[in-house]
C-alpha cells in the first residue's frame, strides 16, 4: 500500500489547540484530554501534537525531530546534519510503551545551529537554510524524515489515536504555552508516522481538518517558489503557503489568511475604493494560493496561532476564551471538557482568521 | 351648443362624429328627408342585385346615433333656414348655433318628353329609388337607362341580376365619359356587352311612351321602364334660402365655413377645388364628402382638423368583376400632357403626366396597389425622384431608401 | 465535363413544399432554382455546401441535406475527399483553400480527459446556494504584493483586465467576418463582462461603443494600427501565429475590401490585404521584446500586451521566451482552431493540439517560476464548457472561443468562409448576406452561449468542491486521462482514470 | 398603439411573413393546408417588395386618419376606436376597392373584396412578426401615423 508522498490520501480529522496568552507554560495533559474527547473523529491511523516553548534551554537552536526507519538512514542523515549544522545536543526522544502504538521508528532529536561557513556561503538566512536542509533530507534520504524543525518548539506524532500518542511521548511531562493537537481519519492508508499531523516547517506547525479541493492548484503554485510537496497532503501545502506568504513575501498573518480564504468578489466589489484595490490586487496576484474546499486549520507559530475556516464554513471550528487561555477545537465539547464554563465561546467564521498572540 | 346637420349622408354623418369627438356635451341634431339610418349611397345597386340586403345597408353600427347622442329628425325635409333655425316641412323649427348643410345632390332630369308624372320613370340616387325600382322591374321588363355614367352603369349592373333586357344610352362617345378616356370607356362597354347589357353611345333618349324609348337618331328601343341617370346637381335650395353665397355649389372656405360664419357646408353640395387641374367644381365623391364632413364638424365644434389643400376625382368601381379605377385627369384636353398606356387583354393602364408629375391615371382590371399612384398624384411627387418604371408596377421600392425607411419604419410618425 | 461528385444531395418532400421560394432566395450558392414558367423548384446539388440555410429557413421543413449516395469507389487511402481535392487542383492548378478548422480525425484530447467530482471526504458545492466565482483577472502579476507601514497598498499593479468569466471571443477581423457578426460578438462580450478581439482588421467606428471590451490586434500586416487604435483597446495583442495556419500569413482578397473594410483596415479599396508570414520587424525574440515595449510605451503602460502564437512543436520554449520578452499575456492557439481562409494542406497538417501545447507551456512556465507572472490563454477549438474546464485545469487562465461563438450565430461549419458567400451573413461582406445576421438577435445568442457555459462551469466547479475558478487553474488532479498512452499522460501531466 | 414596423436593413427577402400571414388568415391555420389545399385560398395581408439586395414587408400602417376608411362606401372598413386597428369587415365589403385606390402605402390587397392586415386580431404578436426569422418586423408602440 502506498503511503503519503506516493499517493494523495483524503482524511477526516479532529483538531484542538490551547494557548496561554501570557505565555505561561502548562502541561500537555490538558490538550490530550481535549483531543481525546473527539476520539470518534480519528480512526487510530494518526495523531500528533505541536508544543511551543518546550525547549527554553535550547531556544537558539533548531530542534530537529527525526524519524529513522533504519540505522542506515540515521547514519546518512547524521552525516548530512554534521556537515550542515553544529549539533549542540542530540538524543532519543523519550517515549514509553503504549497500547495502540506499534512499529515505532527510531525517534531522535537534534538541537542544532546552521554551520556558519556553509550558511554564509549559501547566501541564505538561517531559516531558509534550515528549511532547505529539511526538505533535502526528507526528499533524498530514504527512511529519514524530519518532522519538526522549529526553535523552542516541537511536533510529536505517531500512528495511533492522539491520546495514545500523547501518552507515548509522555507529553504530560512537557510544559508549553501553546499546544495544538490532531487526530486523523485517513481513508485508505495503514498510516505512516511521517504522515501523521501536525505538519511543521521551521516554527510553523499546522493541524488541519478537511480535504481541500484546490490542492493541485496550490501545490503547483507553491512549487514555483522552490517548495517540494513530498507528502501530497493538504497540511503540507497549507504550511508552505503560509511560509511563502508570511516569511518570504512579508505579508502579515492576517493578510496571508485573507489570501488563503479570500473574500468573495461580491464583497470586494462593495468595499471602499482603497480596500477594494488592495483585495483585488491580492486576489489577482495570489489566485494560486486561494484554498478551496472544506477545511479548518490551526497554524501555530512562535508566539501565537491562527485559526482559520474555509470561505464557506464547511467545517466546524469552535473557539473559547477563559481568562488568559484561548481554546480551539473541532467540537465544543472538546473545549468544555477542559474548560467547562469559558468566558466566551464562539464558532469561528468562514474565511475570517482568528489570530491569537502571546503578550509582549 | 346646438349643432344641426341637414343631411344624413357621408358628409353629414362624418361631421356628426367629428363634432362629438370635440364637444362631448353639445346637442347634435341630424335632419334627413329619408327615413333611414345613414347608408352608403353607392350600395343601392348592390341592394338591387341582392348582394346587400336592406339590413346591411347602414354605414355605421346600429347603435351609432345612441352612442354619439345624436338626435335624429328623419323623414322630414328641411324647407328653409332663417334666423338661427331650420324650418321643417311640418312647420317645426329646429334652432341651431352651428349648422351644417350636407344636402348632397339632386338628380338632373333632362328634357325628355313623357317623363313627368310617369310611374315607369325612375331616378337612381336614394334607397327609396332602388326599392321602388326593384319592385317595378320584372325579369322580362325592358329597361332603358339614360346615362352611361357611374350611376347609370352601376344601376345597369344591379338590374342585370333581376332583369334580362337592359340598354344603356349615353350621349357621349363612350360610357363613363366624365371619368375615363375613350379607350378605357370602350373596354368597359365591351365588358358590359359581354355580360348582356346593351350600350348605345353617342345617342340620347328624346321621348318615352311606356313602350318605347325614342332615341335622338330616331331609333326606337323597346322600353317598359326608364331609369334617368344622366347626372346630379348640387342641392343648394336650402342654402339659397339662407342667403349664403353659391357659385357652382355652395362656396366655403378651406374649413368648410360658408359666407355665414355659423353655417358650414360639406359634401356633394359644395364647390371643391380640384388639385389636379386647379378648377373649382362639384366633386361628388364619397371620400371627399367624408373628409369635408370631418373638417366641417371639427371646426364647428372648435376643433382644428387641418384643411385639405383640395381634392381630386377618384373613383373605384366594379362592373361584373371588372374593376375600373380613375384618378385626376384621365383624358387631357391639350397636348401639354404626356400619356403612357399599357394594355394586356382587358387590363388597361393609362398614366397622364405633366411637368414630371403624375396628374391622373386609369386602371382597368389592374387595381394592385393603386393607392400608391393616387398618392403620387395627390403629393405631386416628382416622378424623376422615383426609380424603376412605375407604369409597369409600382411599389414603395420605387421610392428612395430614406423614403422607404420612413414609410415602413415608422419614420412618418409624427 | 465536371469530374467532381456532388458531396451532398438535397431531398425535397414535395408533399410539404409550399413553393414559397425562400430556399431559392436564400441560397447564395444557387443550389435551389425556381422554374420561371412553372414555379417548380429544382436543386443543383453540385453547388451544395451543406450550410443548411435552406433547411433552416424552410417554413415547412421540406428539405433534407444528405450525403450524396453516389460514391466513388473508395478506399481507406484514397478517400473521396482526397480524390475531389485532386480533381479541383487538376482543374485550377492552385493551392486549395478552405475555411474553419482542421477536419481531420486527429486525437481530440479533451474527449480523452475526464473530470473529477467530490464524494464524501469532501463535499460538492451547490452553485445555486453558494457564491461560485468565475471572475478572472488577466495581465502580468507582480512578484509580490507589498504594503506600507499604514497597511496601504504599495505595489503598483500592472494593468489588469477583469473577465467575469474565463471565456473571451477570439480574433476575427472585420473583413474575415462581417461587421454585423463582429458587432454581435462585441455586444455579447460587453453584456457578459468579457472581451472580443478585433483580429487584424482594425476597429470599425460602429464598434466604438464596445472599445472597452476590445482586444486590438497588431499582426504582420499592421492593418488598421494607429495610436488611436492602440489606445482604444483594452488589451493589445501581437499576433505571431494562428493555430489554423501556423507559419503562414493571411490573405484577404481584394473583392472583400469594400469601402468600409478599406477604411477600417486603412488600405485602398479593392487591394488584397496581405499579412506576411513573419512580422518583418521580428526576426528573433529580442525583436519581439522591442515590439512589446514599443506598444507599452505607445500606450503609456496602461494596457497589457499579449502575444499570440500557434501551438507548434517547441511552444514551451517559445512561450518562456515570450514571457521573458515582457509579454503580459501569452496566447496559445491550437491546430484545430478556425480560420476564414487557410491552405488546406497547412490547416490539416501543421501545428499540434492545444491540449498538449497548453500542458507543456504551463508546466514549463511553472518550472521557470514564470507562470504566476504572466497570463496564459488557450485557443483552438473549445467546443463546450467541459473543454474550458479542462483547459483551465491544465493551466490556462482563460480561453478564447471563435467557432463556437459563430455556431451560436448560425454557422453550420460548412467551411466555405473563403468563398465570401456565407449564407448566414458571418464570413462575408456581401450586403445582401450580411444583413441576414441581425446583431440584436445574434449578440443575444452569443451572450446566451457564454452564460450557459458559465453556468455549466459553475456546476462542474461545484461538483469538484471548488467555488472559485482560481482553484481550478492548473489543478490537474481534477483531470484523468482515458485511453491515453503514458507519454501522453506525462505531457498532459495527468494520471490515468482509475489511478 | 402598437404597430408593425419593418426594418429593411434586416429584411432578408425570405418572405416567410407572407407565408405565415396567409396561414394565420386561413381556416385550418396549418401552413401546408393553407398553401396547398384550402379553398378559397387564404390571402396574405402584406407585401414583401424588392429583391435580395433591398427588400421589406409592407403592412397596413393602421393610420390615425385612414384614407381607406374614409373611402369605404359600405362601412366595412373601420378603425376600432379602442384598439386603433383598421379592419375590413369581409361580410360587408362589396369589393369596390375604393380603399385600395385610397391607401397611400398600397397596403390594401385587391381581390374579390379588399384584404388587409388586421394585426392578427387579439394575438399578442402578429404572425408575420412572430415568424420573421431576422426580426425585420417589429411590433411596438409607435406614435400617430398619417
pLDDT tens-digit map of C19-34: 999 999 999 999 999 9
Burial of residue A276 (number of CB atoms within 10 Å: 0-12, 13-18, 19+): middle
On whether the CB atoms of residues A226 and A264 are closer than 8 A, the answer is no
> Residue C7 corresponds to which cell in the numbers above?
458531396
- Using CA atoms, how far residue B220 sits from B115, B141, B208, in Å, is 16, 16, 9
> Residue C36 corresponds to which cell in the numbers above?
420561371
Q: What confidence tier does B234 reach under pLDDT thresholds 50, 70, 90?
A: very high
Mutate to test the interface with C, among D14, D23, D33, D132 (most CBs of C within 10 A): D14
Taking the C-alpha atoms of residue C320 and residue B123, their distance in angstroms, rounded to an integer, is 105
pLDDT at D145 over 70: no
**End-of-domain residue from the set C94, C125, C155:** C94
Q: What confidence tier does C481 reach under pLDDT thresholds 50, 70, 90?
A: very high
Q: How many CB pairs under 8 A join C and D?
A: 53
Burial of residue C35 (number of CB atoms within 10 Å: 0-12, 13-18, 19+): exposed
Taking the C-alpha atoms of residue B84 and residue B98, their distance in angstroms, rounded to an integer, is 8
Mutate to test the interface with B, among D100, D129, D142 (most CBs of B within 10 A): D100
Partnered with residue D6 across adjacent β-strands are D137
pLDDT at C149 over 50: yes
* Smallest CA–CA distance from B289 into chain D, residue: D70
Same-domain check for residues C171 and C69: no
- Residue identified by cell 336614394 is B126
- B112 falls within a domain: no
Q: Residues of D numbered 56-85 whose beta carbons fall under 8 angstroms of chain B's beta carbons: which are they?
A: 56-59, 61, 67-68, 70-75
- B26 falls within a domain: yes
Whether residues C477 and A224 touch (CB distance < 8 A) is answered with no
H-helix or E-strand containing B282?
A: strand B280-282
> By C-alpha distance, which of B54, B53, B59, B227 is closest to B153?
B227
Taking the C-alpha atoms of residue C393 and residue C464, their distance in angstroms, rounded to an integer, is 11
Q: What is the mean pLDDT of residues C416-434?
A: 94
**What is the separation, in whole angstroms, between the first and last Cα of chain A?**
48
- Using CA atoms, how far residue C444 sits from C210, C450, C454, C479, in Å, is 15, 10, 15, 32
Query: Pairing relation of β-strands A325-329 and A318-322?
Result: antiparallel
Whether residues A280 and C467 touch (CB distance < 8 A) is answered with no
- Residue identified by cell 485602398 is C268
Contacts of D103 in chain B (CB under 8 A): 371
Interface residue D146 vs chain B (CB under 8 A):
yes
Is the preceding peptide bond at C463 cis, omega within 30 degrees of 0?
Answer: no
Which pLDDT score, from 0 to 100, does residue D143 have? 57
Same-domain check for residues D134 and D105: no
CA torsion through residues B168, B169, B173, B178, sign: negative
Same-domain check for residues D1 and D55: yes
Task: Tell me what percent of the residues of chain B surpass a pLDDT of 90.
Answer: 86
Contacts of D59 in chain B (CB under 8 A): 408
- Residue identified by cell 357611374 is B150
- Residue B193, Cβ neighbours under 10 Å: how many? 12
Number of domains in chain B: 3
The domain made up of A11-209+296-357 has a fold known as: 3.60.20
Taking the C-alpha atoms of residue B349 and residue B366, their distance in angstroms, rounded to an integer, is 7
Same-domain check for residues D4 and D55: yes
Same-domain check for residues B363 and B277: no
The interface pTM score, or ipTM, of the predicted complex is 0.87
The domain segmentation of chain A, as residue ranges, is 11-209+296-357
If DSSP states are collapsed to H, E and C, what string results for D63-88?
CCCCHHHHHCCCCCEEECCCCCCEEE
Same-domain check for residues B240 and B210: no
Number of domains in chain D: 2
H-helix or E-strand containing C346?
A: helix C344-349
Taking the C-alpha atoms of residue C208 and residue C186, their distance in angstroms, rounded to an integer, is 10
Is the preceding peptide bond at D40 cis, omega within 30 degrees of 0?
Answer: yes
pLDDT at B414 over 80: no
On whether the CB atoms of residues B81 and B240 are closer than 8 A, the answer is no
Which pLDDT score, from 0 to 100, does residue B413 have? 45
Q: What is the distance in angstroms between the Cα of D123 and the nearest Cα belonging to chain B?
A: 21
- Nearest 5°: the CA angle B140, B145, B146 is 155
Listed as own residue / partner, the contacts of A53-56 with beta carbons closer than 8 Å and 24 or more positions apart are A53/A23, A53/A25, A53/A152, A53/A153, A53/A175, A53/A176, A53/A177, A53/A178, A54/A25, A54/A152, A54/A153, A54/A154, A54/A174, A54/A175, A54/A176, A55/A111, A55/A151, A55/A152, A55/A153, A55/A154, A56/A152
Same-domain check for residues C90 and C195: no
Residue-range definition of the domain harbouring residue C368 = 136-496
Same-domain check for residues C155 and C299: yes
Which pLDDT score, from 0 to 100, does residue A45 have? 87
> By C-alpha distance, which of B194, B151, B119, B136 is closest to B44?
B151
- C33 falls within a domain: yes
- Residue identified by cell 365619359 is B177
Phi, psi of B276 (to 5 degrees): -80, -30
Residue-range definition of the domain harbouring residue D68 = 63-116
- C26 falls within a domain: yes
- B100 falls within a domain: yes
Chain CA centroid to CA A25, Å: 19
Taking the C-alpha atoms of residue B174 and residue B149, their distance in angstroms, rounded to an integer, is 9
Q: What is the DSSP letter of A246?
A: I
Contacts of D9 in chain C (CB under 8 A): 435
Alpha helices in chain A (DSSP H): 29-36, 71-84, 116-122, 126-140, 162-168, 215-223, 234-242, 253-260, 265-269, 273-285, 332-336
> By C-alpha distance, which of C51, C97, C100 is closest to C404?
C100
On whether the CB atoms of residues A151 and A85 are closer than 8 A, the answer is no
> Residue B135 corresponds to which cell in the numbers above?
319592385
Which pLDDT score, from 0 to 100, does residue D141 have? 86
Partnered with residue A322 across adjacent β-strands are A325
Whether residues D52 and C432 touch (CB distance < 8 A) is answered with yes
Query: DSSP secondary structure string, A112-140?
Result: EEE-HHHHHHHTS-HHHHHHHHHHHHHHH
Phi, psi of C452 (to 5 degrees): -65, -45
Same-domain check for residues B221 and B241: no
Interface residue D101 vs chain C (CB under 8 A):
no
- Residue identified by cell 420605387 is B398
Residue-range definition of the domain harbouring residue B191 = 121-230
Taking the C-alpha atoms of residue A345 and residue B221, their distance in angstroms, rounded to an integer, is 124
Whether residues B43 and D58 touch (CB distance < 8 A) is answered with no
Taking the C-alpha atoms of residue A14 and residue A335, their distance in angstroms, rounded to an integer, is 12
- B414 falls within a domain: no
Same-domain check for residues D110 and D137: no
On whether the CB atoms of residues A194 and A147 are closer than 8 A, the answer is yes
Q: What is the distance in angstroms between the Cα of C317 and the nearest Cα belonging to chain A?
A: 17
> Residue A29 corresponds to which cell in the numbers above?
495533559
Q: What is the mean pLDDT of residues D115-131?
A: 94
On whether the CB atoms of residues B163 and B48 are closer than 8 A, the answer is no
- Using CA atoms, how far residue C365 sits from C148, C324, C362, C369, C370, in Å, is 30, 10, 5, 6, 5
Facing D53 at nearest CB: one of C26, C431, C440: C431
Sequence-distant (≥ 6) Cβ neighbours of residue B111 within 8 angstroms: none
Taking the C-alpha atoms of residue B315 and residue B150, their distance in angstroms, rounded to an integer, is 9
**End-of-domain residue from the set C79, C94, C109:** C94
pLDDT tens, B81-104?
988 899 999 999 999 999 999 999
Same-domain check for residues D78 and D51: no
Whether residues A285 and C141 touch (CB distance < 8 A) is answered with yes
Which pLDDT score, from 0 to 100, does residue A281 have? 97
Number of domains in chain C: 2
Q: Return the exposure string of D52-75: e unless at least 16 CB atoms fall within 10 Å of the residue's CB, then b.
A: bebbbbbbbbbbeebbbbbbbbbb
For chain A, residues with pLDDT lower than 50 are none
pLDDT at B12 over 70: yes
Which domain CATH number covers D112? 3.30.70.20
Alpha helices in B180-259 (DSSP H): 182-194, 237-242
- B322 falls within a domain: no
Alpha helices in C395-438 (DSSP H): 403-408, 431-434
pLDDT at D2 over 70: yes
Q: What is the mean pLDDT of residues C318-345?
A: 95
- Nearest 5°: the CA angle B135, B136, B140 is 115
Which pLDDT score, from 0 to 100, does residue A189 have? 62
* Smallest CA–CA distance from A259 into chain C, residue: C145
pLDDT tens, B186-208?
999 999 999 999 999 999 999 99
Which pLDDT score, from 0 to 100, does residue C293 have? 96
Query: Pairing relation of β-strands B271-273 and B280-282?
Result: antiparallel
pLDDT tens, D14-63?
999 999 999 999 999 999 999 999 999 999 999 999 999 999 999 999 99
Q: Residues of A numbered 219-238 whose beta carbons fall under 8 angstroms of chain C's beta carbons: which are they?
A: 220-221, 223-225
On whether the CB atoms of residues A159 and A46 are closer than 8 A, the answer is yes
Which domain CATH number covers B385? 3.30.390
- Residue C60, Cβ neighbours under 10 Å: how many? 18
Interface residue C152 vs chain A (CB under 8 A):
yes
Same-domain check for residues D34 and D52: yes
Q: Return the exposure string of C470-499: e unless at least 16 CB atoms fall within 10 Å of the residue's CB, then b.
A: bbbbbbbbbbbbeebeeebbebbbbeeeee
> By C-alpha distance, which of C432, C439, C411 is closest to C179?
C439
B to C contact (≥3 Cβ pairs closer than 8 Å)? no
Taking the C-alpha atoms of residue C410 and residue C431, their distance in angstroms, rounded to an integer, is 17
Q: What is the mean pLDDT of residues C316-328?
A: 96
On whether the CB atoms of residues C157 and C185 are closer than 8 A, the answer is no
Among A86-90, B114-118, D124-128, D134-138, name the one with the lowest average pLDDT.
Answer: B114-118
3-state secondary structure of A80: helix
On whether the CB atoms of residues D35 and C18 are closer than 8 A, the answer is yes
Determine whether A13 is an active site residue.
Answer: yes
* Smallest CA–CA distance from B402 into chain D, residue: D8
Same-domain check for residues C21 and C150: no
Let me know how long chain C is: 499
Chain CA centroid to CA B175, Å: 16
Same-domain check for residues D77 and D51: no
pLDDT tens, D98-116?
999 999 999 999 999 999 9
On whether the CB atoms of residues B103 and B236 are closer than 8 A, the answer is yes
Which pLDDT score, from 0 to 100, does residue B261 have? 94
Q: What is the distance in angstroms between the Cα of C266 and the nearest Cα belonging to chain D?
A: 26
Taking the C-alpha atoms of residue C204 and residue A215, their distance in angstroms, rounded to an integer, is 45
Helix B10-22 with B286-300: angle, nearest 10 deg: 30
Q: What is the distance in angstroms between the Cα of C21 and the nearest Cα belonging to chain D?
A: 8
Q: What is the distance in angstroms between the Cα of D81 and the nearest Cα belonging to chain C?
A: 34
Amino acid at each position: 500500500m502506498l503511503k503519503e508522498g506516493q499517493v494523495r490520501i483524503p482524511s477526516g480529522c479532529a483538531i484542538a489547540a490551547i494557548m496561554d496568552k501570557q505565555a505561561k507554560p502548562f502541561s500537555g495533559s490538558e490538550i490530550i484530554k481535549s483531543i481525546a474527547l473527539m476520539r470518534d473523529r480519528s480512526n487510530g491511523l494518526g495523531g500528533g501534537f505541536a508544543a511551543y516553548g518546550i525547549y527554553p534551554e535550547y531556544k537558539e537552536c533548531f530542534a530537529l525531530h527525526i524519524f529513522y526507519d533504519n540505522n542506515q538512514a540515521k547514519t546518512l542523515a547524521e552525516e548530512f546534519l554534521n556537515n550542515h549544522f553544529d549539533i549542540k545536543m542530540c538524543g532519543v526522544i523519550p517515549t514509553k510503551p503504549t497500547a495502540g502504538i506499534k512499529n515505532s521508528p527510531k525517534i531522535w532529536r537534534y538541537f542544532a545551529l546552521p554551520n556558519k561557513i556553509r550558511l554564509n556561503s549559501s547566501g541564505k538566512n538561517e531559516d531558509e537554510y534550515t528549511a532547505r536542509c529539511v526538505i533535502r533530507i526528507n526528499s533524498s534520504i530514504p527512511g529519514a524524515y524530519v518532522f519538526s524543525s522549529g526553535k523552542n518548539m516541537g511536533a510529536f506524532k505517531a500512528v495511533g489515536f492522539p491520546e495514545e500518542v500523547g501518552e507515548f511521548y509522555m507529553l504530560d511531562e512537557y510544559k508549553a504555552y501553546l499546544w495544538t493537537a490532531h487526530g486523523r481519519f485517513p481513508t485508505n492508508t495503514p498510516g505512516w508516522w511521517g504522515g501523521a499531523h501536525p505538519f511543521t516547517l521551521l516554527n510553523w506547525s499546522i493541524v488541519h481538518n478537511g480535504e481541500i479541493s484546490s490542492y493541485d492548484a496550490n501545490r503547483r503554485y507553491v512549487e514555483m517558489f522552490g517548495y517540494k510537496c513530498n507528502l501530497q497532503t493538504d497540511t503540507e501545502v497549507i504550511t508552505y503557503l503560509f511560509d511563502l506568504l508570511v516569511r518570504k513575501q512579508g505579508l502579515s498573518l492576517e493578510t496571508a489568511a485573507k489570501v488563503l480564504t479570500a473574500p468573495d468578489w461580491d464583497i470586494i466589489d462593495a468595499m471602499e475604493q482603497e480596500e477594494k484595490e488592495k483585495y483585488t490586487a491580492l486576489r489577482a496576484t495570489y489566485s494560486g494560493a486561494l484554498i478551496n474546499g472544506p477545511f479548518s486549520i490551526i497554524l501555530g507559530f512562535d508566539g501565537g496561532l491562527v485559526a482559520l475556516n474555509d470561505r464557506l464554513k464547511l467545517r466546524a471550528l469552535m473557539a473559547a476564551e477563559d481568562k488568559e487561555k484561548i481554546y480551539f477545537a473541532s467540537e465544543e465539547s472538546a473545549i468544555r471538557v477542559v474548560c467547562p464554563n469559558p468566558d466566551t465561546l464562539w464558532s469561528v467564521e468562514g474565511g475570517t482568521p482568528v489570530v491569537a498572540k502571546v503578550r509582549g | 351648443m346646438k349643432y344641426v346637420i341637414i343631411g344624413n349622408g357621408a358628409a353629414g354623418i362624418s361631421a356628426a362624429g367629428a363634432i362629438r369627438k370635440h364637444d362631448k356635451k353639445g346637442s347634435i341634431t341630424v335632419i334627413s328627408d329619408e327615413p333611414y339610418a345613414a347608408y352608403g349611397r353607392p350600395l343601392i345597386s348592390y341592394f338591387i342585385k341582392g348582394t346587400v340586403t336592406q339590413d346591411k345597408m347602414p354605414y355605421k353600427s346600429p347603435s351609432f346615433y345612441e352612442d354619439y347622442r345624436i338626435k335624429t329628425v328623419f323623414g322630414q325635409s328641411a324647407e328653409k333656414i332663417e334666423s338661427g333655425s331650420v324650418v321643417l316641412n311640418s312647420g317645426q323649427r329646429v334652432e341651431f348655433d352651428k349648422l351644417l348643410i350636407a344636402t348632397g345632390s339632386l338628380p338632373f332630369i333632362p328634357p325628355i318628353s313623357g317623363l313627368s308624372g310617369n310611374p315607369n320613370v325612375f331616378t337612381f340616387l336614394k334607397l327609396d329609388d332602388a326599392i321602388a325600382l326593384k319592385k317595378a322591374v320584372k325579369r322580362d321588363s325592358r329597361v332603358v337607362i339614360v346615362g352611361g355614367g357611374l350611376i347609370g352603369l352601376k344601376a345597369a349592373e344591379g338590374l342585370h341580376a333581376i332583369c334580362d333586357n337592359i340598354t344603356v344610352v349615353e350621349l357621349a362617345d363612350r360610357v363613363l365619359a366624365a371619368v375615363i378616356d375613350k379607350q378605357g370607356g370602350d373596354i368597359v362597354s365591351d365588358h358590359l356587352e359581354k355580360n348582356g347589357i346593351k350600350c348605345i353611345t353617342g345617342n340620347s333618349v328624346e321621348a318615352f311612351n311606356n313602350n318605347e324609348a325614342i332615341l335622338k337618331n330616331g331609333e326606337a328601343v323597346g322600353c317598359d321602364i326608364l331609369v334617368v341617370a344622366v347626372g346630379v346637381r348640387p342641392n343648394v335650395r336650402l342654402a339659397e334660402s339662407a342667403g349664403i353665397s353659391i357659385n357652382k355649389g355652395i362656396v366655403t372656405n378651406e374649413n368648410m365655413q360658408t359666407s355665414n360664419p355659423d353655417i358650414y357646408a360639406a359634401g356633394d353640395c359644395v364647390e371643391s377645388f380640384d388639385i389636379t387641374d386647379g378648377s373649382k367644381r362639384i366633386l361628388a365623391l364619397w371620400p371627399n364628402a367624408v373628409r369635408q364632413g370631418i373638417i366641417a364638424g371639427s371646426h364647428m365644434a372648435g376643433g382644428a382638423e387641418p384643411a385639405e389643400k383640395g381634392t381630386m376625382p377618384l373613383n373605384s368601381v366594379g362592373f361584373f368583376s371588372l374593376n375600373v379605377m380613375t384618378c385626376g385627369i384621365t383624358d387631357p384636353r391639350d397636348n401639354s400632357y404626356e400619356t403612357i398606356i399599357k394594355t394586356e387583354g382587358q387590363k388597361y393602364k393609362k398614366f397622364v403626366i405633366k411637368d414630371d408629375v403624375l396628374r391622373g391615371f386609369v386602371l382597368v382590371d389592374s387595381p394592385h396597389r393603386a393607392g400608391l399612384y393616387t398618392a403620387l398624384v395627390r403629393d405631386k411627387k416628382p416622378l424623376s425622384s422615383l426609380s424603376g418604371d412605375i407604369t409597369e408596377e409600382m411599389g414603395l421600392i420605387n421610392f428612395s431608401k430614406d423614403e422607404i425607411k420612413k414609410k415602413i419604419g415608422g419614420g412618418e410618425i409624427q | 465535363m465536371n469530374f467532381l461528385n456532388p458531396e451532398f444531395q438535397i431531398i425535397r418532400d414535395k408533399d410539404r413544399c409550399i413553393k414559397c421560394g425562400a430556399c431559392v432566395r436564400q441560397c447564395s450558392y444557387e443550389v435551389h432554382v425556381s422554374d420561371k414558367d412553372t414555379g417548380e423548384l429544382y436543386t443543383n446539388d453540385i453547388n451544395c455546401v451543406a450550410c443548411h440555410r435552406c433547411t433552416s429557413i424552410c417554413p415547412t421543413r421540406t428539405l433534407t441535406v444528405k450525403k450524396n449516395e453516389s460514391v466513388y469507389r473508395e478506399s481507406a487511402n484514397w478517400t473521396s475527399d482526397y480524390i475531389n481535392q485532386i480533381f479541383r487542383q487538376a482543374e485550377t492548378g492552385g493551392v486549395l483553400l478552405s475555411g474553419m478548422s482542421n477536419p481531420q480525425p486527429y486525437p481530440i484530447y479533451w474527449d480523452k480527459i475526464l473530470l473529477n467530482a467530490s464524494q464524501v471526504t469532501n463535499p460538492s458545492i451547490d452553485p445555486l446556494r453558494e457564491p461560485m466565482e468565475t471572475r478572472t483577472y488577466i495581465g502580468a502579476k507582480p512578484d509580490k504584493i507589498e504594503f506600507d507601514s499604514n497597511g496601504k497598498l504599495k505595489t503598483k499593479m500592472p494593468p489588469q483586465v477583469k473577465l467575469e468569466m474565463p471565456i473571451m471571443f477570439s480574433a476575427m477581423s472585420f473583413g474575415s467576418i462581417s461587421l454585423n457578426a463582429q458587432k454581435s460578438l462585441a455586444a455579447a462580450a460587453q453584456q457578459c463582462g468579457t472581451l472580443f478581439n478585433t483580429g487584424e482588421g482594425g476597429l470599425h467606428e460602429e464598434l466604438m461603443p464596445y472599445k472597452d471590451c476590445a482586444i486590438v490586434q497588431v499582426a504582420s500586416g499592421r492593418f488598421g494600427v494607429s495610436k488611436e487604435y492602440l489606445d482604444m483597446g483594452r488589451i493589445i495583442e501581437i499576433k505571431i501565429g494562428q493555430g489554423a495556419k501556423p507559419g503562414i500569413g493571411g490573405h484577404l482578397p481584394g473583392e472583400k475590401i469594400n469601402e468600409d473594410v478599406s477604411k477600417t483596415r486603412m488600405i485602398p479599396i479593392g487591394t488584397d490585404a496581405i499579412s506576411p508570414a513573419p512580422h518583418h520587424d521580428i526576426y528573433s525574440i529580442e525583436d519581439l521584446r522591442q515590439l512589446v515595449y514599443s506598444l507599452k510605451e505607445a500606450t503609456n503602460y496602461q494596457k497589457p500586451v499579449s502575444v499570440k502564437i500557434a501551438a507548434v512543436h517547441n511552444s514551451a520554449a517559445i512561450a518562456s521566451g515570450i514571457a521573458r520578452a515582457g509579454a503580459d499575456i501569452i496566447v496559445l492557439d491550437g491546430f484545430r482552431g478556425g480560420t476564414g481562409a487557410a491552405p488546406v494542406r497547412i490547416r490539416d497538417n501543421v501545428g499540434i493540439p492545444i491540449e498538449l501545447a497548453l500542458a507543456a507551456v504551463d508546466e514549463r512556465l511553472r518550472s521557470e517560476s514564470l507562470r504566476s507572472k504572466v497570463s496564459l490563454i488557450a485557443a483552438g477549438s473549445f467546443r463546450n464548457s467541459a473543454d474550458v474546464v479542462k483547459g483551465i485545469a491544465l493551466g490556462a487562465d482563460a480561453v478564447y472561443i471563435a467557432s463556437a461563438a459563430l455556431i451560436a450565430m448560425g454557422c453550420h461549419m460548412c467551411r466555405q468562409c473563403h468563398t465570401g458567400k456565407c449564407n448566414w451573413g458571418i464570413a462575408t461582406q456581401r450586403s445582401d448576406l450580411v444583413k441576414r445576421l441581425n446583431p440584436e438577435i445574434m449578440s443575444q445568442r452569443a451572450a446566451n452561449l457564454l452564460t450557459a457555459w458559465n453556468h455549466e462551469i459553475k456546476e462542474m466547479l461545484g461538483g469538484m468542491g471548488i467555488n472559485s475558478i482560481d482553484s481550478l487553474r492548473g489543478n490537474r488532479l481534477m483531470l484523468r486521462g482515458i485511453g491515453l498512452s503514458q507519454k501522453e499522460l506525462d505531457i498532459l501531466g495527468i494520471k490515468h482514470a482509475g489511478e | 398603439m402598437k404597430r408593425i414596423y419593418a426594418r429593411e436593413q434586416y429584411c432578408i427577402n425570405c418572405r416567410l411573413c407572407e407565408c405565415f400571414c396567409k396561414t394565420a388568415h386561413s381556416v385550418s391555420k396549418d401552413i401546408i393546408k393553407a398553401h396547398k389545399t384550402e379553398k378559397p385560398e387564404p390571402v396574405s395581408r402584406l407585401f414583401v417588395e424588392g429583391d435580395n439586395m433591398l427588400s421589406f414587408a409592407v403592412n397596413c400602417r393602421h393610420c390615425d386618419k385612414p384614407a381607406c376608411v374614409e373611402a369605404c362606401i359600405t362601412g366595412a372598413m373601420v378603425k376600432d376606436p379602442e384598439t386603433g386597428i383598421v379592419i375590413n369587415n369581409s361580410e360587408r365589403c362589396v369589393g369596390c376597392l375604393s380603399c385600395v385606390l385610397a391607401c397611400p402605402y398600397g397596403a390594401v390587397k385587391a381581390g374579390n373584396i379588399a384584404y388587409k392586415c388586421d394585426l392578427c386580431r387579439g394575438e399578442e404578436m402578429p404572425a408575420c412578426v412572430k415568424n420573421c426569422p431576422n426580426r425585420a418586423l417589429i411590433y411596438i408602440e409607435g406614435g400617430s401615423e398619417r
